[in-house]
Structure 1
C-alpha cells in the first residue's frame, strides 16, 4: 500500500468514527452540533410542543355536497331487500361449457341478489340522475306507496327490456350461430337477439320492446350496443328509468377459473342524457346451470291475474314525460 493510500484509509476511518460518535450522542439525547439548543419547553424558536395525544387533523378539503338530484334519490324510501335463489352444486359428471371463449351456448342462472332498485354503480358511486330522471323514479315509488302502481311492460306481460330480464332469478338459454346470438328467457318468454352484421340483419321496420342489438367481439368479450326501443324501459322493479332514446352497452364474457364454477359476466352501461348526467355501469354474473336447460312453463297472465276478469291487475297508466 502506498503512503497516499494509507493516508486516505486513515482519513476514512476517522470520519466513520466521528459519525458513529455523533450518532451515539444524538441517541443519548445530546444536541448535535450546529443546531440551536433545545429548550425545556419544546422545539426551538418558541414553537409550541407537538400535540401527540389528540386526533390528527384532517387536512383534506371537505367534499362538495352531492347534486340536488342525487340528494333527492338518497332521500327516497329504501327498496325491498334483495332475494336470491341458491344454485345447486354441479354434479361431478355435469357437462361443462365449451372452452371456446366465443361460444356462449348453454343454460345460465343469475347468482346474485335481485335488486329491486339500482342505487349504486359497479364502482359504488351513486346513480348520476338528472332531476328529470329522479323525479320519474320518485313518482313511481310514491305510486307503489299509495297502492296504485303504474303500468309497465312487466305488468302486462310485454318484454321488459334486457336489464330487468337479466336481473330476475330465473334461467335463460343462449343459442348461437355465425350471424347471431339469442338469449331465451324463462320469464316472460323473453327473447334478446344480437346480430353481428347489420347489413344481413337490418333494424326491423317497427321498433321492438327489446330494441335492436348489434354485437362484435373485442378479444374474448362480446360488446353489444342496443338502441331503438319501442318504449321507455324500467331498469328494475321500482322503476329506475331509461328513455326510449337511451342506449345500452353490454360487455359479455365467459369466465372459467378452472374451479368447475364457470359463469357469464355481463357489464351493462346505461347511456341516457335525459335521465342521467353521465353513463354509468353495473355488473352481473350468471352461473353455468346445464340442469336448467329445459325451461319451465311460465304463464305471465296467471301471475298478475286473468286480463278478462282483472284488466291490468289494478295498475294505472303513467304520464309520459318523455314522449317525442
Structure 2
C-alpha cells in the first residue's frame, strides 16, 4: 500500500504503472513515457483513470494500431463481483485518428491464487519479431 497511488503490476516485463490518486490534475505537457502519466479518481464504485504523456513507441491492441504522443485515454474499472472486473477504454488521439473511439468493453476474470510468471523481452527476440511479423504487416497496409 502506497498512500495516494495505485500501482499496476504487469506480467510482461514485470513492469509497474503508477496511477496518482491524490487529487492532482494531469500535467499540461508531461514527459513522454511508455505507460503515460496517469491520475485516477473514484466515481461511485468505478475507478476512472485519465492518462496523457505517452511516447509513440507502443501500439494499441494485438493488431498493432499506431498512436501519437498526443494520445489521451480514459479507463473505467468496475468490480462486478469478487472475481470480475468490467473494463472500458476511451481513446482520443487527434494526430492519428479522426475521432475519439471506444475500445470493445472487456470483462476481466480474476484468478485468485495464480502466481504471475516471469516474462522478459529479449532484444534479439524483439528484433526477430519485428523482422518476421511487425515490418511485413506494416508494409501490407501501405
Structure 1 length-normalised TM: 0.36
Runs (5+) with no aligned partner, structure 2: none
1:140 maps to which residue?
Answer: none
1 CA distance for matches of 2:23 and 2:35? Answer: 16
1:300 positional shift: 2.3
Higher relative contact order (CA 8 A, sep 6+): 1
2:101 maps to which residue?
Answer: 280
1 CA distance for matches of 2:36 and 2:92? Answer: 14
1:192 positional shift: 1.7
Q: 1:233 aligns with which of 38, 58, 69?
A: 58
1:299 maps to which residue?
Answer: 120
Runs (5+) with no aligned partner, structure 1: 1-175, 306-311, 320-324
RMSD: 3.2
Structure 2 length-normalised TM: 0.76
2:85 maps to which residue?
Answer: 264
1 CA distance for matches of 2:100 and 2:121? Answer: 32
Counterparts in 2 of 1:187 and 1:249: CA distance versus 1, 3 Å: same
Judge conservation of contact 1:233–1:244 (CA < 8 Å) in 2: no
Counterparts in 2 of 1:222 and 1:241: CA distance versus 1, 3 Å: same
2 CA distance for matches of 1:299 and 1:232? Answer: 18
- Say which one has the larger Rg: 1
Going by fraction, where is helix more abundant, 1 or 2? 1
1:190 and 2:15 aligned: yes
Q: 2:128 aligns with which of 282, 288, 313?
A: 313
2 CA distance for matches of 1:299 and 1:244? Answer: 25
1:237 positional shift: 2.9
1:314 positional shift: 6.3
1:297 positional shift: 1.6
1:180 and 2:1 aligned: no
User: Secondary structure at 1:315's aligned position in 2?
Assistant: helix
Moved over 3 A (4+): 316-319
Judge conservation of contact 1:233–1:243 (CA < 8 Å) in 2: no
Going by fraction, where is strand more abundant, 1 or 2? 2
1:274 positional shift: 2.0
1:296 positional shift: 1.2
User: Secondary structure at 1:194's aligned position in 2?
Assistant: strand
1:276 positional shift: 2.2
